[in-house]
Amino acid sequence: MIPPIASNFVAGEGPAEALDHVRDLNDGDVKGILNLLGEHYQERPPADEDADAYVDLVDDIHESDVDACISVKPSQIGLDVGDDVFVENLDRIVDHAAAREVFVWIDMEDHTTTDVTLDAYERLARETDGMVGVCTQANLKRTGEDLQRLAPLPGKVRLVKGAYDEPKEIAYKKKSEVDRMYREYLELMFREFEGGVAVGSHDPAMIDVARELHDEHGTDFEVQMLMGVREDAQFELAEEYEVWQYIPYGSKWFSYFYRRIRERKENALFALRAVVGN
Ligand code: FAD
């Protein structure tokens, strides 16, 4: 069982708890993006197993009344084993999901995976007429070109600042530079995309930029934030805009929880208060 201290950031060990969490969110008009925790499998069996679990999760979403979609990490479904394993498992998940009108997001991992991930996205976006989305990272210098390529496709694109420590030759390293590029890429997206813009950030400044760009261009957008981070803001924003919460669940919760705690002082203080019961 997940200890109460971690349950702020992780919905539970199984899909039933995750779907219960989505039901509560849906009451406040926030929708759910479900992510089964797991990544970097070096062998095929665990990658196939997680792909199977996503197929079952799609059935659960389809058969329930929740407003939810899924988000999959390439290395979780076989990218480290081989590009062909990743593509085969992704196709299997997306075919199953599209037939049941469940949307599939593809998370973006480090820069060595960008091409294969975008190629798979482009093909599936066309084949399913937009039932997939992909993440792009503002810290990568290539992202402007990638966004131009993605703009005419059906589907959705989530812009994040980027979670991976990339080499300085190909990435912006300073926070101020990444923030500047995030704004610039948002401008490009609201200008060039017909819709399907997802703002994957907790940063109030970036959300304000998106609101202004929406007023200027009228382009549809949604805000995406993580479970346990600025949840009050999520519900407040949902009164005006589409808001999706990214919800991790599964037995491999510890390292994810540990990352969230290390990331910010506020989260550590929250965890400490939970322990001392104050
Ligand atoms: P930061 O630059 O970290 O913070 C800016 C401001 O936001 C802070 O000053 C504060 O005001 C507010 N804030 C941020 N965190 C907190 C907090 N914990 N509590 C209170 N306020 C806070 N990265 C990838 O590389 N690939 C992915 O596929 C990917 N998917 C993601 C999906 C979603 C839905 C989200 C939200 C993020 C995803 N990320 C992904 C992570 C992303 O790249 C960033 O590392 C992460 O979101 C932190 O950047 P930020 O924009 O939230 O703001």
The domains of the chain are located at 6-276
pLDDT at 91: 98
- pLDDT tens for the chain, 278 residues: list them: 888 888 999 999 999 999 999 999 999 999 999 999 999 999 999 999 999 999 999 999 999 989 999 999 999 999 999 999 999 999 999 999 999 999 999 999 999 999 999 999 999 999 999 999 999 999 999 999 999 999 999 999 999 999 999 999 999 999 999 999 999 999 999 999 999 999 999 999 999 999 999 999 999 999 999 999 999 999 999 999 999 999 999 999 988 888 888 877 666 666 655 554 43
**Domain 6-276, what fold?**
TIM Barrel (3.20.20)
Of all protein residues, the one whose alpha carbon is nearest to atom 33 of ligand 1 is 200
Of all protein residues, the one whose alpha carbon is nearest to atom 12 of ligand 1 is 203
The reply to whether ligand 1 has any atom less than 6 angstroms from the CB of 116 is no
Q: HEC states along the chain? A: CCCCCCCCCCCCCCHHHHHHHHHHHHHCCEEEEEEECCCCCCCHHHHHHHHHHHHHHHHHHHHCCCCEEEEECHHHCCCCCCHHHHHHHHHHHHHHHHHCCCCEEECCCCHHHHHHHHHHHHHHHHHCCCCEEEEEECCECCHHHHHHHHCCCCCEEEEECCCCCCCCCCECCCHHHHHHHHHHHHHHHHHHCCCCEEEECCCHHHHHHHHHHHHHHCCCEEEEEECCCCHHHHHHHHCCCEEEEEEEECCCHHHHHHHHHHHCHHHHHHHHHHHHCC
The reply to whether ligand 1 has any atom less than 6 angstroms from the CB of 133 is no
pLDDT at 258: 86
- Has 126 been annotated as catalytic? no
Q: Which atom of ligand 1 is nearest to the CA of 198?
A: 34
pLDDT at 261: 82
Gap from CA of 161 to ligand 1 centroid (Å): 7
Q: Out of 50, 158, 179, 260, which one is annotated catalytic?
A: 158
pLDDT at 278: 39
The reply to whether ligand 1 has any atom less than 6 angstroms from the CB of 94 is no
pLDDT at 267: 64
